[in-house]
Structure formats: structure tokens, C-alpha cells
A and B are shown apart, each in its own frame.
Chain A
Amino acid sequence: MEQLLYDKMKQNITYEAKHIGFRYEKSQVLSDVSFRIQKGERVAILGANGSGKSTLLKIFDALLYPSHGELYFEDSLLNEKYFENEEREFAFRRKVGFVFQDPDVQLFNQTVWDEVLFGPLHLGLPESEVVDRANWAMDTLAISRLRDRSPFTLSGGEKKRVALASILSIKPSVWLFDEPFAGLDPRSQSNLLDFMINTHNRGETIIVSTHDIMLLNELADRVLVISEDHELVADTTPEKLLKQKDFMIQHNLMHTHMHTHGKKVHSHEHIHK
């Protein structure tokens, strides 16, 4: 019975990190991190600037490999050897979509249309399906009118939507978002949040790196906190985390703010945005 439960749980695991760390040249960017992420979960990776959140997302997308430890994706160990087989790489990239923080980096085609069909086309899908998916993704994100525009000429919010459509057309089951709300105006933020909620409602796994705790409750059901020493220091729920003000101040997610009211000096916690 126990074995059956264990097997069942194993089937539902998307990522399993076993003591993974990453060194870049001489500096440690991530240190001895272990956790499991289940299928369909919404996980926020929280940490101050430079804590290693983006590196962790890149490891999830197999753009980087851990310097030590092991990372499993649906039971497969992700390493260079695994990706020597092109079919395996394509299968992985069809399942995992990465929305980069800076859409300018992500958008590199001549037109929005080319951008949206780039993923499915290069992942070896049949041409008719590539076109159907691209049309569907553009309709879903309401960017059909931008079809022949160059991505470089779009506004920040439009670029973000094109970046999302370019991943949506791949139809991944796992979404990785790196600081998705950075530089967006309130309406674009709200649209993106709606998109993420709808994506989660379809049963897809969402992993978001952020240092913004304002939207944490709406964004995730689980939070992994990475310290400035690049270690995993909490694996909890947003509600529990938001109650631990001292902990958040300690890990630079919030800071104490002092100001004066007339002659009275007043201090309170202040969200670090």
C-alpha cells in the first residue's frame, strides 16, 4: 500500500531537486537546494536580488545544469548527457515554457507572427498544427492585430503579450516566469495575472520567480524562499510567510521604514518592491 502511494506520488512529481547548487566562475550562485514540485502546483520562488532565483529557473529549463546535486524532471535526470538526444530535448522543450524577464531578449524574429510560430515550428510539429497553434495563441492573447508588426516597435505591455503568446503556442505543461511583473503598468500586470490564473486553472504547473510579495497570495499556493546566502530557507504557503515579518526583514523581502510625523519618529515594516 505504501509502495503504491509512493509510486502514485512519484508520478505526480514535475521537478525533484536533490541538493542542487550552482557555481558561476568563483562565486556560489545557488547552494544545496532540495525540494519537490508536484504537477499543477503554483510555486513562487522568492528572494532578494542576486539570491539565485533566475539561475534556478534556468536550471529548471535546462539552460544551465547544476554544478552539484541532481535535478529530475518527471523522473528523468536532467544533465548534458540526457540532452545529447535531440528527440528528448524536443520532448522536454515542448513541455516546459520559459517567459524571460526582458521580452527584448525573448523576441528576436522579424514579425510578431514569426515570433509566435517560432517555438512550435522548431520543435518539429506538423506545419498545419504550427499555424493553428500560432493563430490560437494570438487570439487568446488578443494580439492578432499586431501580426505583421516588428516586435521591436511594440510597447512594453504588447511585448510581454507577444512573449506570452510565443510560449503559449508551444502549449507547455510547465510555465516558468522570471520576474513577470517587472516594468509593467497596472493594467498589464492585471492582464498577466489573469493569464496566469487561467493557465493554472487548465491544470498547468506554474513556477514564478519574484521579489515582489504584493501579489503573492494571488500568484502562488506555495513559496520557496531563497536567502541572500543562496540557500533554501523556507518552503511554506504565502499566508504563513506573510505573517512572519521578522523573517521577511531578515531575508531582505521587506525592510523597516522610518519617518516622522511632526516631532514623532515612527517606524513600520515596508514591502521591498
Chain B
Amino acid sequence: MASIVEKNITSLITGLAHGLTTSTYVDKKGILQQLDPRTKVLGGLSLIILASWSHSTEILIFLYIGCLLLGLLSKIPLKKILHQWYILPFFSLFLALPLIFSFVTRGHEIVTFSYPFVFSITSEGVALAVRFLIRIATTVTIVQLVLLTTRWDFILKALGSIGIPHGFLFVLALTYRYIYVFISSALDMILAKKSRTVGKEKVSSLRSWIGALSGSLFMKSIVMSRDVHEAMISRGFTGKVKTLKTFSFQIADWVSLFIILIITGGAIVIR
């Protein structure tokens, strides 16, 4: 049991580190890689707003499938994009699950339970939960597509050029720089614990260790984030992101923004 939990924590942490720092798909010759980072940031934000605002399951499914296709056209394997379904339930299933029951969403009853009290699963509730999950999946996929096809410094510069305040970008840049150091530290702590553990460990003691790990990581994180911040300041970083690349809008960018405008307008009209 202990090793499964440990294994999951380790794979979650390394997966997060890899996901945040990988540049495998940035240089592929795909459709999204050809676009100006500003187009991707603006387009991505518009589609996220649309997905959050839309109450139509059809529109959400259309957006989700569209994102999957866009991913494939950007040379990102479907497996990589669908990987989110390993993590997604952890964060959203607990929120979505109560929606299916009659005590939260009233409607046509599909199944009725009589223990510990009388309640049912409603078709409206199931539709609501499914819509919620697709909305989350669509939003995560949009963010994932932008992150996987754009260098991080270009994203920051693009956010700056559309008017996001420098203070906010500074915090964002610092968080990104620091996360790998934080993750390495967490992995070291897991390894250090493993080297001092003999035999099978009780779940209760493992639970208390995870609590202690979180506490020490929090304390460490304060010191480490300060160090990373100082290292950035020391080399002239003031919050304004600079890159060698000069952004320029091409025909493909205008066409993409036009398509996004049509999709958004269409969704408003349908509603």
C-alpha cells in the first residue's frame, strides 16, 4: 500500500515537472506552432471564456473535439492530450458527483435509492455533471495546447503585450522558474525518507509523513522562492519579459482570430 501511494506521489510530481518544463512540441511544424504567441494567448482566452460561459452540451463537445483536432494538427499525440483524464477526476469528480443526485438537481429520476434515506439520480443531474466535466476538460485542453506549443517566455511576453500588468507577470514568471526547484526538493525528501524506511509501513504513519512533508515543503518553499527571485534580479530581471524573437502577425494569425470570432459569435447566437 505504502509503495503504491509513494509511487503515485512521485509520478504525479515528476509528471508535473515534465509537463511544466517540456519543450518537446514547441519546435514541431504544427498548425499552432506557426501562430504568433499573441494569437494563441488571445484566442485561448476567448475560447476559455466561451467554454465557461456556454450552457450548451453540444457547443462544449464541439469545442472539445475541435481542441483535440487542433492538438493533432499541431503534432501533439492524442495520448498526451487525453492524459489529463488521469488527473482530471481527482480535482473535478468530487465537485461533479453531487450534481447527479436529486437533492442537488431535481428532475426526471433514473435510479432511486432508499438507504440511508430516499434519493435518486436524475437525468438533468447527470447532464449537468457531464457538462461540467466536459467544460473542465475543454478549458484544461486549451491551456495545455497553448503551453505545449509556445515557449514559456513567449507566453509571458504575449501576456504583457495584451496589457497584463508587470507585477502579475513577475509573480507568474517566478512561480514557473521556482516550481522545478521545488519539485526536485520534494523528490529528494521522498528519497531521503525511503532510505530511512525499513519494512512495510502503516498507512497511518504514511499519512502523517505526507502531512509533515507538506509542512516542511512549505517552509522550504519560502526560502527557495526567495533565492530564485534573487537569482533573477541579479541578472537584470525587473518583471518585463524580453526575448530575442520579435512578434509579428501573419495572415494565419488574422484568419485564426477571425475563426475564433465566428465560433464565439455563433455560440452567442445559438444561445
Find A86's partner among B152, B178, B238, B244 (CB 8 Å cutoff): B238
**Contacting residues, chain A, for B181 (C-beta < 8 A):** 104-105
Find B151's partner among A110, A118, A166, A170 (CB 8 Å cutoff): A110
How far, in whole Å, are A122 and B153 apart by their CA atoms in the complex?
12
What 0/1 pattern do residues 48 to 75 of A give for CB contact below 8 A with B? 0000000000100101000000000000
How far, in whole Å, are A170 and B231 apart by their CA atoms in the complex?
14
Is A247's beta carbon under 8 Å from chain B?
no
Q: Which residue of A lies closest to B243 (CB)?
A: A121
Beta-carbon contacts under 8 Å, B162-181 to A: 177-178, 180-181
**Contacting residues, chain B, for A61 (C-beta < 8 A):** 234
**Contacting residues, chain A, for B126 (C-beta < 8 A):** none
Is B228's beta carbon under 8 Å from chain A?
yes
Is B199's beta carbon under 8 Å from chain A?
no
Find A108's partner among B23, B184, B232, B242 (CB 8 Å cutoff): B232
- How many B residues have CB within 8 A of the partner chain? 26
CB–CB B244/A118 < 8 A: no
**Contacting residues, chain A, for B228 (C-beta < 8 A):** 105, 108
Is B227's beta carbon under 8 Å from chain A?
yes
CB–CB A119/B152 < 8 A: no
**Contacting residues, chain A, for B235 (C-beta < 8 A):** 93, 118-119, 122-123, 166-167, 170
**Contacting residues, chain A, for B21 (C-beta < 8 A):** 110, 150, 152
CB–CB B230/A58 < 8 A: yes
A179 to chain B, nearest CB (A): 13
Is B233's beta carbon under 8 Å from chain A?
yes
CB–CB B244/A127 < 8 A: yes
The answer to whether residues A110 and B236 also contact, given A100-B231, A105-B228, A121-B243 and a CB cut-off of 8 A, is no
Find A63's partner among B230, B236, B237 (CB 8 Å cutoff): B230
Is B224's beta carbon under 8 Å from chain A?
yes
The answer to whether residues A152 and B180 also contact, given A63-B230, A105-B228 and a CB cut-off of 8 A, is yes
The answer to whether residues A104 and B243 also contact, given A110-B151, A123-B235, A152-B21 and a CB cut-off of 8 A, is no
Q: Which residue of A lies closest to B245 (CB)?
A: A127
**Contacting residues, chain A, for B224 (C-beta < 8 A):** 105
Q: Which residue of B lies closest to A130 (CB)?
A: B244
How far, in whole Å, are A104 and B178 apart by their CA atoms in the complex?
9
How far, in whole Å, are A272 and B12 apart by their CA atoms in the complex?
41
**Contacting residues, chain B, for A86 (C-beta < 8 A):** 238
CB–CB A104/B184 < 8 A: yes
CB–CB A131/B244 < 8 A: yes
Is A228's beta carbon under 8 Å from chain B?
no
CB–CB A102/B23 < 8 A: no
**Contacting residues, chain B, for A212 (C-beta < 8 A):** none
Beta-carbon contacts under 8 Å, A17-66 to B: 58, 61, 63
Beta-carbon contacts under 8 Å, B229-255 to A: 230-238, 242-244
How far, in whole Å, are A145 and B141 apart by their CA atoms in the complex?
34
A-B contacts besides A89-B236, A110-B23, 10 pairs, CB < 8 Å = A90-B236, A98-B231, A104-B180, A108-B177, A108-B232, A119-B235, A122-B242, A124-B236, A150-B23, A170-B235
